[in-house]
Copies of this chain bind each other. A is one copy, B any other.
């Protein structure tokens, strides 16, 4: 498996600075959040979101990222982290990436406050980028997160939802941030509207591929890799691509899900039906399509080591499955 560090090689040093900046920001004035912040920004995050912004910035500018690009990269990681903090409280999750959550270690109070603090600070940084178009793009992301969070609750154990609903939810939860921040990177670089649209599509496709792969791993990964038991999404009623495809093939799966997997052995049986169906393979093909599309949207970006890394991000996404 490609290590993430070598994957983002052109921006490795930039990412180290970014993590330090974020830790200092949270902990400087608020000793009470210090421990939470250390924990938060240390916890093995892949920094895919800021890496995409920094790589795009280098690819477009053909030089070091500007101060505003670096700030935009920080904003993406802040918004992402804030949403994880609140998600963990909402879902009462005790573990994420194999590490205890802030909510489980420090309590609801700190998790909500740290999330609010990061959202608020991100909004303020954003306003002070002094670019109304960028403000609009990222405010769209924050709105989409809230929408996704709510939709996920609404569609819980709903076997009638379509693949479109699933993709929309995945856009809100994951792809919107990548799409809009990629476009915002172009806006800050003064790229043409056409190129900015390509960047948006690159981010959207990478984000969707990424989310679909995550959803496959929830079925195929080991507890060690996932940092949580396999099948967690299904158990909590979050029906993802593998389930939706498997239900088409195996109607009995719907019966199990509609009774919310409440009878003894339901979860195990449902997992077996999914593994025996083409659900996982079809999901992989769907992710592959989005990864392929993502690569195509990079053709207008001038060739460089950074552009090459952006291409490899799409491969990496799929390689996580091996």
Chain A interfacial positions (CB closer than 8 Å to B): 30-33, 86, 89-90, 108-109, 112-113, 116-117, 119-121, 123-124, 126-128, 130, 132, 135-136, 139-140, 142-143, 145-147, 149-150, 153-154
**Cβ 8 A contact of A120, one of B30, B31, B127, B146:** B146
Q: Are B32 and A150 in contact (CB under 8 A)?
A: yes
Contacts of A120 in B (CB 8 A): 139, 142-143, 145-147
Determine chain A's interface SS by DSSP, over half rule.
helix
Complex CA–CA separation, A86 to B132 (angstroms): 28
A and B contact pairs by CB, cutoff 8 A, 18 listed: A31-B154, A86-B116, A90-B109, A90-B112, A113-B149, A113-B150, A113-B153, A116-B119, A116-B146, A116-B149, A117-B147, A117-B150, A119-B142, A120-B146, A123-B123, A124-B140, A127-B139, A127-B140
| Integer count of this chain's copies in the complex | 2
A109 vs B154: C-alpha distance in the bound complex, in angstroms?
12
Which single residue of chain B is at the shortest CB-CB distance from A154?
B32
Are A112 and B112 closer than 8 Å at their CB atoms?
yes
Q: Which residue of B lies closest to A125 (CB)?
A: B139
Establish whether residues B89 and A108, one from each chain, have CB atoms under 8 Å apart when the complex forms: yes
Given contacts A112-B112, A113-B150, 10 further A-B contacts (CB under 8 A): A30-B150, A31-B154, A32-B154, A86-B116, A89-B112, A117-B147, A121-B143, A128-B136, A130-B132, A132-B132
